[in-house]
A and B are shown apart, each in its own frame.
Chain A
Amino acid sequence: MADSASHAQPASTDGQTRRDFLLYATTAVGVVGTGLALWPFVHSMNPAADTLALSTTDVDFSAVQVGQAITVVWRGKPVFIRHRTPEEIAQARKDDSADLRDPQKDADRVKKPEWLVLIGVCTHLGCVPLGQKPSDPKGEFGGWFCPCHGSQYDTSGRIRKGPAPLNLEVPPYAFTSDTTIRIG
């Protein structure tokens, strides 16, 4: 009967307490269980084991002449490897003391000064900046120019002008020989 439960209420406060306790305990366990059950679904959208395993790229840069640059793929993103000229290196060092939005020394951004390795993704909204090919616009600072919203980077890949907040990111890498590096 619909109202039989309410009849019982005044008669037994003990029963009522027990029922409240059961209700809270069951609700708590049920909510925790539902939450835990959602985790496999959420986690399945994180990078899978095979994706994580592809996180290194070996690059042979022996053919890259001074002043040239190559673009390689690492984790599905372009990585810029630029063989900098002495002028570009000098300019980059000189600008260490310039008014930088994201202050960083050029020496902290390279392992060998003539090789600049950067993730070629604009830190504004993810476009690929121009400046790899000789015919590309390199912006006012001789580095890279992002065509999407006009961010300009210098010869150390530091942000100098435009909406991007940060310098072009340096990926983890190591020189495995004089002519090869491993990214990742």
Chain B
Amino acid sequence: MSAYKTNNKMVGWIEERLPIFSMLQHSAVEYPTPKNLNYWWNFGSLAGFMLVVMILTGVFLAMNYTPHTTMAFNSVERIMRDVNYGWLLRYLHMNGASMFFVLVYTHMFRGLYYGSYKAPRELLWWVGVVIFLAMMATAFMGYVLPWGQMSFWGATVITNLFSAFPVVGQYIVTWLWGGFSVDNPTLNRFFSLHYLLPFVIFALVFIHLWALHTVKSNNPLGIDVKSPQDTIPFHPYFTIKDLFGIGVFMMVYLAFVFYAPNFFGEPDNYIPANPMVTPPHIVPEWYFLPFYAILRAVPNKLGGVLMMFGAIVVLLFLPWLDTSKVRSGRFRPIFKQAFLLFIIDCVVLGYVGSQPPADTITLIGRIATAYYFFHFLILLPLLGKIEKPKPLPASISAPVLRGGGMAAGATAKPMEKA
């Protein structure tokens, strides 16, 4: 950490007592960042930005929301109709949830492609997986709050997952509900936790950043920083690049908010919750669909639940399941194909999750589920052993110095063009 110098007396006074300026200087200004980061590296900061937007809109929505079964639905509609700019806040929050997942999924796939989970970034990756889990819990509970038909039945189905556990299952579910069905106590606790968890995520993001700044950023070449020539300071280079990313992202996000605000939603959630009538076709929000498909792929209740949780748990073992010494997928010809197949598999799972259960769909779902685990548990460990990676460049500054690196450098060029 370089010594922080200032001529400003007040800044100096604070700095002596709380070294906040040197911390900012160190981690947000000087932070040496690989200069070859491409635009896929924007998605981390975008996700952080989105978290702030969600907390901000959420806090203001909570000022007008009533967590009671008889009033929740109408209080949301009052926000939409009577509260000044209430419709804007609510649509920002509602579409923001979907956008948050778009960003985080992209961020995760970027990490998967460039091997950002490999040593020494295993803990960084783990914290990320925990953030993802916390996000899913938060999103699920938030979806319950408007107390529409999908809210209610989504809550019923998902909480019932826990009934799959032998002996204690039903007790857990009753405990989660605070009663014998999803009802007012459930809504109240979900509201409480939905308000709490984003701040937990915020803290986790700090740990995520702490780990990042300890091991430093990965880069599209996946090779370590060798000299100061390879890096540039975070500010102004990446502050402006991130801001540009935020600008582009905001246009996409707000286009949905203003012109297709219910694109990601289900019409059924504009029908007030009715515990006596299940909608004919219930689906979770799109970001849960692949996991929902895995759940349904297994004919055994407990098996399905375990597989679904397993699909996320497997991510924790990824740093050791991927045996390749090379980080970046750019130098791994077979992995590249496998990665593409894996993305297709996730999309197929998502599609299957959105369809009503039918035999062909279930069959496709089973194959896709099997492939999901095959990719992590068999393909990745095997690939590291059998695949012959392309030669790596000597350094970030000189990716084309060695003859063999030529091709890699050429393919790298368009991606790096900032």
Contact = CB atoms under 8 A, between A and B. Distances in A.
Direct contact of A and B (CB under 8 A): yes
B337 interface: no
A124 B121 CA distance: 62
Contacts of B56: 41
Given A41-B56, A44-B63, A48-B64, A2 B82 contact: no
A41 B78 contact: no
Interface string A21-62: 000000000100000000111011110111100000000000
Contacts, number: 44
A43 B83 CA distance: 9
B85 A44 contact: yes
Nearest to A49: B82
A48 B84 contact: yes
A109 to B, nearest CB: 34
Given A49-B82, A50-B78, A44 B60 contact: yes
Nearest to A43: B84
A48 B231 contact: no
B83 A44 contact: yes
Contacts of A45: 60, 63
B78 A40 contact: no
Nearest to B57: A41
Interface in B34-60: 35, 56-57, 60
A39 B243 CA distance: 21
B81 A41 contact: no
A49 B232 CA distance: 52
B233 A40 contact: no
12 contacts: A2-B228, A2-B233, A40-B88, A41-B56, A41-B57, A44-B64, A44-B83, A44-B84, A44-B85, A48-B78, A48-B83, A49-B82
A46 B60 CA distance: 12
> Interface centre among A1, A44, A46, by most B CB within 10 Å?
A44
Interface string B66-109: 00000000000010011111101100000000000000000000
Given A1-B229, A41-B56, A49 B81 contact: yes
> Interface centre among B82, B84, B243, by most A CB within 10 Å?
B84
A45 B88 CA distance: 13
Contacts of A51: 82
Nearest to B78: A50
